[in-house]
Amino acid sequence: MTCKAQPDACQPLWSYQGHEGPIKALSWSPDGTKIASASSDGTVRIWDVETTKVLLVYRDDHTPRVKLTAVAWSPDGKRIVSGDDGGQVQIWDALTGHLLLLLEEQRGLDPVTFVSWSHDSRSLASSGYKGIVHIWDAQTGQTIASIPSTENGSVESSENDPIYAVVWSHRSSLIALASYDTIQVWDLSTGKPQQLGHSYHPSDHASDEQFAHAPGKGEANMFTVAWSPDDRQIVCGGQGYTLGLSFHG
């Protein structure tokens, strides 16, 4: 369903029906005329926003039983990336629905929780429940780097918390991670990921007035994160609360 945003309400405009399972992720095309939806029925569907008609259905016939969990449209509008509960990442031609690349670094080991494109559409990132972010070359499918998410930010630790979201900044090589009680920012510009500053732990600031609900230790799972358009601020959300953070890179 798409809605018209109003100051005090969200007015429904159109409804899209066709999936045979729950919809797990959505992404707008860069020009705003289409929507990509990823479902547990194993398909990505492309919808015309105004007519509500299905334009294309993407399905990987090699792994028909997977449930798709993530989707993102590339900034240049040419490709769509999806991820599934079997740990695979698919790159599709947005115009034809042809499967261009199947990335299997996490296959069978780590269900994909989130996917995100770099601002130039040349690289992408995927995250998983075992706390690893994979950085991929979107042209070749090769792994460029990986980032563990740990309690202390150490890349040597193997006791990783789930990463629920990984989001590329709009104009730079920075990515933000949302994990268990942790928000991290990493710089990928050197080819070797470097964490910027310290991990932010919301439960350490439970008395702060910016929380709609004060998270206690053990309940501060951070499920989502997003950059402001100027890349100077980050907003993140967890169990019952939303928090805005200033970032000075």
pLDDT at 51 over 60: yes
pLDDT at 28 over 80: yes
Among the residue ranges 2-11, 16-25, 27-36, 48-57, the one predicted with the least confidence is: 2-11
Which of 138-177 are b and which e, b meaning 16 or more Cβ less than 10 Å from the residue's Cβ? Answer: beeeeebbebbbbeeeeeeeeebbbbbbbbbbeeebbbbb
For residues 62 and 201, which has the higher predicted lDDT (pLDDT)? Answer: 62
135, 193 contact by CB (below 8 A): yes
Percent of the chain with pLDDT over 70: 74
pTM of the model: 0.81
236, 221 contact by CB (below 8 A): no
pLDDT at residue 104 in the model: 79
159, 171 contact by CB (below 8 A): no
Q: What is the pLDDT of residues 145-185, one digit of tens each?
A: 888 744 444 333 335 678 899 999 988 889 998 887 778 88
pLDDT at residue 219 in the model: 55
The arithmetic mean of pLDDT across residues 74-83, rounded, is 96
* Residue 100 confidence class, pLDDT cut points 50, 70, 90: very high
Task: Give CA angle at 131 (167, 197), nearest 5°.
Answer: 60
pLDDT at residue 161 in the model: 77
